[in-house]
Structure 1
Amino acid sequence: MFYIPTFFVFLHKAKFLLKTPNKKSALSEIHGVEQPETLSSVVASQIQQFRRKQPSAEELIAGILKGDKTALSRAITLVESTNPEHLAKANEVIKGCLPHANNSVRIGITGVPGVGKSTFIEAFGKYLTSIGKKVAVLAVDPSSSISHGSILGDKTRMEELVKDENAYIRPSASGDTLGGVARKTRETIILCEACGFDTIIIETVGVGQSETAVHSMVDFFLLLKISGAGDELQGIKRGIMEMADTIVINKADGDNIAKAKLAKTEFNRALHLFPAKSSGWIPKVTTCSAYEQTGIDAIWDIISEYFELVKSNHYFEEKRQNQNQFWMMETINEQLKSHFYNHPNIMQLLEENKKAVQNNEISPFAAAMSLLEQYFNKE
């Protein structure tokens, strides 16, 4: 009997579906399926009109303050929008939510790809909700430099946490910003806090340079590691070690338990060679298995101990104040850059200078200085 592997049958069906055009609304009748008696064209039209309706800033604020996740999602989409028309509305929503923010703890989690960040965050988030916490996860997914698209698969990976009523997961594309975190992520934190989430977790893309931006907007910085990544000298070479408040060796299960314990010892040696933190906190190293959900409670105990210290010595408030100043300056830089590139005269001159630079008629530096001089003169 001739046998066709299931995989090839799947590919054949997938190709058929891709070739079949489907431009109809999701509410329209599918060819070959009988229309049920309960389907009303009037109701379908009402649903479509509701989806097209854009809530006002006041409605979004009211929904967020009531803990409505739908209103929160729509507000975050508004904040992330690059449409200039949405900027004023987004700022109004932020202004309305700001008095109700700053009542959470913010935890940044980073690690190299493959360390198990999503699995760890799901296990960690489930533990937090089990002890009465409301958790918001802001997962930053890397954007392609070619197609500029993102998979946004972090929410799919956290299939248990996403069903938790006390949890909210928001995947966002990194875009062209450093590590995918900038003013938009900062403002998203404010919205989540106003919505009642008392624990905000920010997951970086884990590519090496995003940690600096994340560190500037969180209270506690957690570095995920795996065994076999190098000895203490390798740890010293990584600048990220200086920012970490604790290091967690993940995947400490099965045959990796002994290796994880060895890695813990090596990283402890490395941490002793770093200067003392201004917070007075001594970073700790621990192990866990996100897959088997072991060691998660010990991590929260370490984080709780940290917050008890920094709140008692007032470092917590001092750090928040410094972060606010930092992001004020970053916002100014971002707005100046945006205004420059969207200036009508500069947009035309920029294209002319691009061609001149490509044809070696002018140096890139001279072209840049010429554009800046004309921009400031026209202002």
Structure 2
Amino acid sequence: MKNDKIKNSALHEKEGISPPEIVSSNAVETIKNFRKKQPSSQELIEGILNGNISALSRAITLVESTNASHLAKANEVINACLPYANNSVRIGITGVPGVGKSTFIEAFGKQLTSLGKKVAVLAVDPSSTISHGSILGDKTRMEELVKDHNAYIRPSASGETLGGVARKTRETITLCEAAGFDTILIETVGVGQSETAVHSMVDFFLLLKISGAGDELQGIKRGIMEMADAIVINKADGDNIKKANLAKLEFNRALHLFPTKKSGWTPTTSTCSSLTKEGIKGVWEIIEKFLKLTKTNNYYFEKRAEQNQYWMLETINEQLKTNFYNHPEIQKLLESTKKAVSTDEISPFVAAQELLNVYQNYKKLS
């Protein structure tokens, strides 16, 4: 039985298939040309609105690109998709590494698709500060959900972006909504206290915890708890059920020490097991109650409007930063200025101001 389970796993290395003796060179050339072909903006837009996953994936790749030549095309696709967006429930899911985010999302996603929902999972993987690479292994972890026709999983690298999300997660949400996904799950990198950006792009913020990770005072120290709309104690199965229930009580006490939320919602705690699926249904019921309350008192719509303003300002900041570093004069001076700073010939603050003055002067001349 154990061996059968291993063979059925996506992590099991399957036996290879010998290639045919004769491979059509024409077929190979056709495939290569197809892969090289870059679809137009209009083709991507039509594909997304028709629910074509391939078009959606290619559009997300375009949006995430740091290539300046891709920016105009990406903006054209996003602007065309905007009228078809804003029709989903956006749920942020965070927790420390090892809490079981991917396993929980798979169980939760399967629960949602069983209810007829179309689920898009935006899984953000941390990038190495040394190699700048990311594993992007979330699709492998969610081997059941990835086979579900009503689910779409898109792993992205966090890059240098802080806050637990990728640089273009907000735009990716828009594209997924335009493609017909009515529930967006955003899995953050799970770094603990700094995941604030995701809170500014979701309707409901879910914090996953495990028992034995600290008492209620430890919970209070984590500023992320103030943003949580619900705390779910995961891995409540086997010998861990009693500990999970105790942790639930401790976090429930901690939540009462926080000020009342503007939404009028009182954060709640619950337990679940992503393996046995116990408590997973209850998590969605909590989210439904939250949505009903916040739509009734209009907080849901006010928050969406505030988020739009916030991301407009964030986009301006990001574009200004990109323009500064891509300016040819700044690129000429940057390396020599960095060397001067490292040898204490000039202070970092004066050096920064001088570079900014150079940039401003050249912008005035242009």
Determine if the TM-score, normalized by the shorter chain, exceeds 0.5: yes
Partner of 1:23: none
Partner of 1:54: 38
In 2, Cα distance between equivalents of 1:34 and 1:63: 34
Larger mean Cα displacement after TM superposition, 351-360 or 224-233:
351-360
Q: Which runs of 4+ in 1 moved over 6 A?
A: none
Output the amino acid matched with 1:337. K
In 2, Cα distance between equivalents of 1:202 and 1:343: 34
In 1, Cα distance between equivalents of 2:140 and 2:275: 16
Report the secondary structure of 2:270's partner residue: strand
Q: 1:377 deviation in Å?
A: 1.6
Give deviations 1:32-71, integer Å, cap 9, x for gaps.
Answer: 96524xx422122111111110000000000000000000
Q: 1:357 deviation in Å?
A: 1.1
Output the amino acid matched with 1:258. K
Partner of 1:177: 161
1:225 aligns with 2:212: no
Give deviations 1:125-179, integer Å, cap 9, x for gaps.
Answer: 0000001000000000000000000000011100000000000000001100113
Match of 1:87 among 71, 81, 99: 71
Q: 1:291 deviation in Å?
A: 1.2
Output the amino acid matched with 1:57. S
| Kept after mapping to 2: 8 A contact 1:173/1:180 | no
In 2, Cα distance between equivalents of 1:280 and 1:302: 14
In 2, Cα distance between equivalents of 1:355 and 1:237: 40
**What does 1:30-45 correspond to in 2, within 5 Å?**
35-36=21-22, 39-45=23-29
In 2, Cα distance between equivalents of 1:266 and 1:183: 35
| Kept after mapping to 1: 8 A contact 2:162/2:195 | no
Q: 1:183 deviation in Å?
A: 5.1
Partner of 1:285: 269
**What does 1:242-321 correspond to in 2, within 5 Å?**
242-321=226-305
Report the secondary structure of 1:178's partner residue: coil
Gaps of 5+ in 1: 1-29
1:339 aligns with 2:339: no
| Kept after mapping to 2: 8 A contact 1:178/1:209 | no
Match of 1:326 among 306, 310, 317: 310
> Percent of counterpart pairs with the same letter?
76
Partner of 1:141: 125
In 1, Cα distance between equivalents of 2:302 and 2:117: 25
Give deviations 1:315-344, integer Å, cap 9, x for gaps.
Answer: 011000000000000000000100001100
In 2, Cα distance between equivalents of 1:124 and 1:108: 13
Partner of 1:101: 85
Q: 1:208 deviation in Å?
A: 2.5
1:367 aligns with 2:351: yes
Gaps of 5+ in 2: 1-16
Q: TM-score, normalised by structure 2?
A: 0.93
**What does 1:204-223 correspond to in 2, within 5 Å?**
204-223=188-207
Partner of 1:20: none
| Kept after mapping to 2: 8 A contact 1:249/1:263 | yes
In 1, Cα distance between equivalents of 2:362 and 2:80: 35
Output the amino acid matched with 1:260. A
Count of aligned pairs between the two proteins: 347
Instruction: Please report the RMSD computed on the Cα atoms of aligned residues, expressed in angstroms.
Output: 1.3
Output the amino acid matched with 1:149. G
| Kept after mapping to 1: 8 A contact 2:164/2:191 | no
In 2, Cα distance between equivalents of 1:205 and 1:308: 29
Q: 1:192 deviation in Å?
A: 0.2
In 2, Cα distance between equivalents of 1:137 and 1:130: 16
Give deviations 1:78-123, integer Å, cap 9, x for gaps.
Answer: 0001111111000000011010000000000000000000000000
1:72 aligns with 2:62: no
Give deviations 1:220-245, integer Å, cap 9, x for gaps.
Answer: 00000000111111111111110000
| Kept after mapping to 2: 8 A contact 1:245/1:284 | yes
